[in-house]
A = this chain, B = another copy of it.
Amino acid sequence: VTSDARGAPEQHVAAIVSRVRAVSAASAQAARTRSDGLLKPQGSLGVLEETVCRLAAVARSDRPAVPTCPAVVVAAGDHGVHTRGVTSWPQEVTAAMVAAMCDGKAAVNALAEAVGARVVLLDVGVATELPSHPLLRRVRIRPGTDDLAAGPAMSRDEACRALLAGADLTGVLIAEGVDVVVTGDMGLANTTASACLIAALTGCGAADATGRGAGIDDVTFERKRAVVAEALTRHRPSREDPLGALAAVGGLEHAALVGVMLAAAAEAVPVILDGIATNAAALVAAALCPDVVGYLVAGHRSVEPGAAIALDDLGLRPLLDLELRLGEGTGGLLAVPLVIAAAASHARMATLTEMPDVS
């Protein structure tokens, strides 16, 4: 696809990508130098120090600001592949869970409150139309994707429009003061689409990328693996054409999350990833725009095997490994206090030269 042949949405995507600058390696190094002079043995705060260096690279400062306004964006969509019997939960659960999140009843609400984060929901393609709600942004591109094992999940144009919905929402949130974005997802059967994207973009095998999602029996698991393998054989998606892969085997919520990441990176705001759906979206974002990876923090390593494969491919080490397999942004939210604590320790500790003399 040449530039001239691209539709308007794809041109908008390219425009966002062009706004993403490489993070500053010099600022990361300056933060490391500062950290080495703080009142502790060098390196003794371990991964907190590495996290500060990432924040410094994003902020282009050796003293990145301590985040004060985190928000989790939960992108929701349904999946035509649900009809293949890849999960034991009915498709209606997607809409019901988004409604529960609007009501403040879900895990994401409780964890967001606990860590002081806003919850923002984005319907880019739930099968059932949802009523309006203050927490819910409705940009329904289509009522769920088509069955990715039978044909493309969606058109390239639809994928780009879902991506732009995520990017637009993120731009609004950042304008409102959000200074760290957690990515979350809701969509029955989306671990199947996630596995397809991860296999396509990392080159790993279908069986390796596929897990048991929210919990399925052996028969369903084998069926799910076969569906992923079938989709990969049919579409031959690859990292050379990430939007093509997204359209062929992805979900509308994956596309929206790619947009969230690109827009946050374009505004130099760090993004904390959650589980496998967000890891799969990160692979697409990185294939579109390698510089986006510098803006990403891996919050949690999902139980799903594809999640670790994706994070390894991205070169990201997760802050947490708590055996979560829920999505919704839960694992990402749990990492928010660690990111804040990393920045706070870096900002507030004294230097070794300020150690009191008590001799």
Q: Which A positions have Cβ atoms within 8 angstroms of B? A: 38-48, 66, 89, 92-93, 95-97, 99-100, 103, 105-107, 109-111, 113-115, 128, 130, 214-215, 303, 319-326, 330, 333-334, 337-338, 340-341, 344-345, 347-350, 354-359
Contacts and interface: CB of A to CB of B under 8 A. Distances in A.
B344 A96 contact: no
Given A44-B324, A48-B334, 4 more contacts: A92-B359, A93-B355, A95-B358, A96-B358
Number of identical monomers bound together in the oligomeric complex = 2
B215 A345 contact: no
Given A92-B358, A106-B349, A341 B100 contact: no
Given A39-B100, A39-B107, A334-B341, A323 B46 contact: yes
Contacts of A41: 89, 214-215, 325-326
13 contacts: A39-B97, A44-B325, A47-B322, A92-B359, A95-B359, A96-B355, A96-B359, A105-B356, A110-B341, A110-B345, A113-B348, A320-B320, A334-B341
Q: Which 4 A-B pairs have the closest CB atoms?
A: A46-B323, A105-B350, A337-B337, A99-B356
Contact of A358 (B99, B106, B110, B341): B99
Nearest to A92: B359
Nearest to A98: B358
Contacts of A66: 114
A115 to B, nearest CB: 6
Contacts of A109: 348-349
Contacts of A47: 322-324
A339 B205 CA distance: 37
Query: A40, A115, A128, A333 — which one has the most chain B CB atoms within 10 A of its CB?
Result: A40
Query: A42, A95, A107, A354 — which one has the most chain B CB atoms within 10 A of its CB?
Result: A107
